[in-house]
Every structure is written in C-alpha cells, then in structure tokens.
Amino acid sequence: MIDELEVVRALGAHEAAAGDGARDRVWARVTGPAPRRRGRVLRPLLAVAAPVALAVAAVVAVAVLRAGADHDDVRVYRSAEPAPAAPALAAPFPGAHQFLYVKSRQTQMSCTAVASESMRCHMDPTGIRESWVSEREQGEAVDPRADRPMELSPSAIYLGNRRFTHDEILAYHPTPPELLEMLQKGRIGKQGNGGASYPFAQLTDALREMPLPGPLAVTVVQTLPLVPGVKDEGSVTDEEGRPGHAYSRVVGHMREQVIVDPEQGTMLQERQFALDAEAAPGIEGPDLGNAVYLQRAVVDRVGQRP
Amino acid sequence: MGEPALIGAATFSEVFDRYFDLVHGYLRRRVGDAAEDLAAETFSRALAAFERYDAGRGDVRAWLLGIATNVVHGHRRAEARRLRAYAREAGRQVPPGDGVDVGARLDAGAAARRAATAIAHLPSGDRDVLLLVAWGELSYEEVAVALAIPVGTVRSRLNRARTVVRAHLEKEDGR
C-alpha cells in the first residue's frame, strides 16, 4: 500500500541543498553589502547597531520585495547585482492576515457648499498618509486630513464589481483584454455615468492601496491603455524622479493622470488637473490633487513600518 | 526537528546560520530557481520582526517557515512551474540503485507524477499544510504556529490533502 505522505516527501528531495554561495548572497542581501561576520563576533555589533541594522534591512527588504515580484513574470533582479539605492515600489502581496503598508504624500482638494448649488474649494496642505490594509484584520490609516488615526475595516479584494477571495485572486491570471472585458461586463446599470473610460477608475482604484499579487498588478497596469478614452502620455518621471509611464483620461472638467511603473505594476503618482474654471470654484491654477506613492511593503501588524 | 528554539539571547546571525538550509531547501522544493530570492525576502521579513519576536509563540523554525510560506503566496506561478517540472521529471529522478528493478522505478515515477499533479490542484491552504509537514518536517502544532491557524484546522486540512493525493495515486495512469 502506498503512503501518500512518503511519496510527497520524496518529491524534490534530491534538490533541497543550497547551491554554492547561496547562503552568503542571501545574507548580503538581507543585511547589506558588508562582508559577512557571524556568530559571537556579530553579537555585540548587533546589540549596539540594531536600530541601524533594521533601518538598513528596511531598505534592503523593499529591494528584495521588488526582486521577488520580478522573479515570477516581470524582470529578473540577479542577486549578484547590488540592491538599488533608490526606494523601489514593488507590488507586494500580503497574507490574508497581514497588512499592506502604503505611504504616500498627498495634496487634496476640499470643497464645501457655501450656498445652494454654489461651492468653494481649497487645496489642503500637503501631508503624509500611511495606511495598513488587511483582508481579514482591522486596518488603520493616518491621514493628514484627519486629526486621529482612522480605523479601516477588513478590506475585501475587488476588481471592478467582482469580489475575490485571497486564493481566488492568487489564481486569477487574465490577459489585459480579458481583464477589461470582465470589468466592462460587470458594470451595473449606469455605474460611472455610463462613460466608456470608467474602467480607468476601477483599475486605478485597484492600484492605490489594495493588496494585489505582483503579476496581476502588472496586468492591471497593462490594461490601462486598452480602456476607451485613455490617452497614453508616454514615458515620464514622477515627482520623486522615478521613471514611469503616464496615462490619462478626461472626465467632465477635469483630467486625471496616473504615472505607473509598468514593470512592477505599481502606481507611482496620480494627479488631477482642472480643464476650466468650472472644475473647482475657488481654486487658482490647474492642480486639483496630487498623490505620490512613496513606499509599499508587507507588514505583520498595524503601526508597523518596514 | 527537536532542536531548541533559538531566539532568546541568540543573534539574528545565529538564527540565519542555523536555519538557512532549512528555509532555502523548503523554498527550493516549492519554487525551484526562485528560492534564493524568496529566501532573501523571508529573512528580510524575519529580520524586520526579529526584535519583536515572541519566543513564547513557538519554535523559530516554524516561525521562519511560516514567513517563507507567506512569501511563496506571491509566487504561485513559480510554484506551479516547479510542480509541473516534478510531474515531467518524475521517473527520471528515481536513482537506478542496486536492487531496484525497472518496474519499480516506473511505478515510483508514476506515483511522483500523480502526487505532483495532485499537489498542484490542492487549495493553497491545504497545500501549505501538506508541504509544511512533508517538506518542512513540522509537527501539527508547529504548522498551527507557522500559519496562525488552530491545530484542528491543520488536522482537517492535512487529512483533506492526503485524501486528494491518495486518490490521485490510486487511479489508473491515463497518460
């Protein structure tokens, strides 16, 4: 009689050993490029320099997350290459009980009604927003417009109107046309005022602060130019000097632009511009909103920063 | 199994030294060539959480394999490729040792192919439990710590996974 567990144990048993140098390469990537010193020699160093080490690790961790996302279907980041110094923005995907941490710098418009059918708007000061979003756990957001941290309910994963479980989203691998078709067929009534470019809003919603597996996030980005009415603005750099690709659409009196990293499947920056004075009474100049996404990472609890 | 938990006064370096082979080996079996990248990601996450790790939560081995398992979740395609490779290579990997006849090698190859196919079709939660037991050599209690689920859930998932694998092993090879 076959013991199924023994058969499974035998699978791949011949290749379990690490290759030459793997241990040192991984160590270097985890702790930084310094020569490896281990054991007792490192113990006092670690005790004294723990905060520094953790800070380095945070930077490296982001780079490693980027590398991890690369490995599947995007770009291979070889371990022999030095970790990039500039902050990287991979699309890390947390476990169902973990949190996606997103840090952004935002300038948003606020409008208040001053009389019937009359509105005055102003731009809020620029501030840092941090959010911890989890599928199963209570999350939190620290927003410059709120005077205290805001509780966020467990966040279901949606693409358009379709809700996914954790496992479903991991197994969902549409092509960009298939994804667009799913969004368009899933629209209810006149959702998005019936505008053909509405999937642009659904796709950018998914890229903002929602957990998405890396390969699927890349597909979401690749779907943007397929949306009717979306303009491909070509290669640009964002406010942080990071290279990306810009797409935009016009809605009413406003133009919405996103700058994305097409290889990582991440949103780098999004901006809204007024096309005329009707867009936002009281606002001088075209800028109606601006958010720069500075950091994304998987963390284990609310308040934890990478 | 059986090594004492290492956190306490241990440095991260000592934890890395002791468990690198285990974590890398587990990842190698799950995602193949992506193992080195994912091992780096696993230990980076572990380092970030190291100072706050509560040794009372259980063996550090289970903690690390739990992180590694979560890391694998972002790399399902790599895992699927690895399992397809197992199915493809099955039979060729059975060593032609003394006393193993050709028929037995073919049987073992077919069993490995069916098992790999079955694992590929398991729900991810069931697959995680099965592979943490089979490849990570964790006990039920340790799997519960690794995945932050009740022991009863570990038992039911493992039972379900074994039933599926057994069913694949017992069916006729239709290839």
Looking at this protein, which amino acid is placed at residue A86? A
Q: In the structure, what pLDDT confidence band is assigned to residue A116 with cuts at 50, 70 and 90?
A: very low
Strand partners, A107: A290
Residue A115, CA distances (Å) to A109, A111, A120 in order = 19, 12, 9
Q: What integer pLDDT is reported at residue B98 of this predicted model?
A: 42
Nearest to A230 by CA among A245, A244, A203, A250: A250
User: If 0-12 CB within 10 Å is exposed, 13-18 middle and 19+ buried, where does residue A202 land?
Assistant: buried
Nearest to A67 by CA among A92, A35, A86: A92
Q: A153-195 pLDDT, tens per residue?
A: 777 788 888 888 888 888 899 999 999 999 988 877 666 665 8
Residue B169 in contact with partner chain A when CB distance is under 8 A: yes
Residue B162, CA distances (Å) to A7, A199, B37, B39, B81 in order = 11, 43, 30, 27, 22
Q: What integer pLDDT is reported at residue A86 of this predicted model?
A: 33
Residue B162 in contact with partner chain A when CB distance is under 8 A: yes
Q: What integer pLDDT is reported at residue B74 of this predicted model?
A: 78
Cβ contact A8–B124 (<8 Å): no
Residue A268, CA distances (Å) to A143, A236, B61 in order = 18, 11, 37
Q: What integer pLDDT is reported at residue B173 of this predicted model?
A: 45
Q: A33-46 pLDDT, tens per residue?
A: 433 333 322 333 23
Task: Answer yes or no: is pLDDT of A15 > 70.
Answer: no
Q: What integer pLDDT is reported at residue A193 of this predicted model?
A: 63
Q: What integer pLDDT is reported at residue B14 of this predicted model?
A: 78
List all residues of chain B from 93 to 122 with a beta carbon under 8 Å from chain A.
93, 108, 111-112, 115-116, 119
- C-alpha span between A251 and A255 (Å, rounded): 6
User: If 0-12 CB within 10 Å is exposed, 13-18 middle and 19+ buried, where does residue B165 land?
Assistant: buried
User: If 0-12 CB within 10 Å is exposed, 13-18 middle and 19+ buried, where does residue A44 land?
Assistant: exposed
Task: Answer yes or no: is pLDDT of B6 > 50.
Answer: no
Cβ contact B43–A4 (<8 Å): no
- C-alpha span between A194 and A67 (Å, rounded): 40
Q: A138-153 pLDDT, tens per residue?
A: 888 887 767 778 877 7
Question: Encoding tokens for residue B93?
Answer: 């990997």
- C-alpha span between A38 and A45 (Å, rounded): 10
Q: What integer pLDDT is reported at residue B157 of this predicted model?
A: 93
Which chain A residues touch B44 with a CB distance below 8 Å? Answer: 29-30, 57, 60-61, 64-65
Q: What integer pLDDT is reported at residue A305 of this predicted model?
A: 92
Sequence ranges of the domains in chain A: 4-73, 99-299
Q: Between these two residues, A279 and B71, which has the higher pLDDT value?
A: B71
List all residues of chain A from 178 to 237 with a beta carbon under 8 Å from chain B.
213-215
Q: A52-104 pLDDT, tens per residue?
A: 333 333 333 323 222 332 222 222 222 333 333 333 445 688 988 999 999 99
Residue position matching structure tokens 């399992």? B83
Most B CBs within 10 Å: which of A5, A8, A77, A298, as the mutation test of the B interface?
Answer: A8
Which chain B residues touch A22 with a CB distance below 8 Å? Answer: 24, 36, 39
To the nearest whole percent, how much of chain A has pLDDT over 90?
Answer: 30
To the nearest whole percent, how much of chain A has pLDDT over 70?
Answer: 68
Tell me how many degrees the CA angle A105-A108-A111 measures, rounded to the nearest 5: 165
Task: Answer yes or no: is pLDDT of A242 > 90.
Answer: yes
Least confident of A107-121, A122-136, B48-62: A107-121
The mean pLDDT value of chain A amounts to: 74
Which chain A residues touch B153 with a CB distance below 8 Å? Answer: none
Q: What integer pLDDT is reported at residue A36 of this predicted model?
A: 34
Give the phi and the psi of residue A112 in degrees, each rounded to 5: -130, 145
> Is the pTM of the predicted complex or chain greater than 0.90?
no
> Which residue does chain B place closest to A16, by CA atoms?
B25
Question: In chain B, what are the domains?
Answer: 12-170 (1.20.140)
Q: Complex ipTM, two decimals? A: 0.81
Task: Answer yes or no: is pLDDT of A48 > 80.
Answer: no
- C-alpha span between A61 and A88 (Å, rounded): 10
Q: What integer pLDDT is reported at residue A23 of this predicted model?
A: 81
- C-alpha span between A182 and A199 (Å, rounded): 10
Cβ contact A95–B73 (<8 Å): yes
- Segments in chain A forming alpha helices (H): 4-10, 22-31, 39-73, 166-170, 176-185, 198-208, 214-223
- C-alpha span between B119 and B131 (Å, rounded): 9
Task: Answer yes or no: is pLDDT of B5 > 90.
Answer: no
Please state the rounded mean pLDDT for residues B88-100: 52
Task: Answer yes or no: is pLDDT of B151 > 60.
Answer: yes
Please state the rounded mean pLDDT for residues B84-111: 60
Q: What integer pLDDT is reported at residue B78 of this predicted model?
A: 77
- C-alpha span between A129 and A294 (Å, rounded): 10
Strands A231-237 and A243-251: antiparallel
Q: Between these two residues, B9 and B36, which has the higher pLDDT value?
A: B36
List all residues of chain A from 95 to 114 with a beta carbon under 8 Å from chain B.
95, 97-98
Most B CBs within 10 Å: which of A43, A60, A71, A157, as the mutation test of the B interface?
Answer: A71
Residue B77 in contact with partner chain A when CB distance is under 8 A: yes
Task: Answer yes or no: is pLDDT of B100 > 50.
Answer: no
Which chain A residues touch B64 with a CB distance below 8 Å? Answer: none
Cβ contact B47–A72 (<8 Å): no
Q: Which of A115-124, A232-241, B90-99, B111-120 has the highest mean pLDDT?
A: A232-241
Residue A32, CA distances (Å) to A18, A47, B38, B140 in order = 20, 17, 16, 36
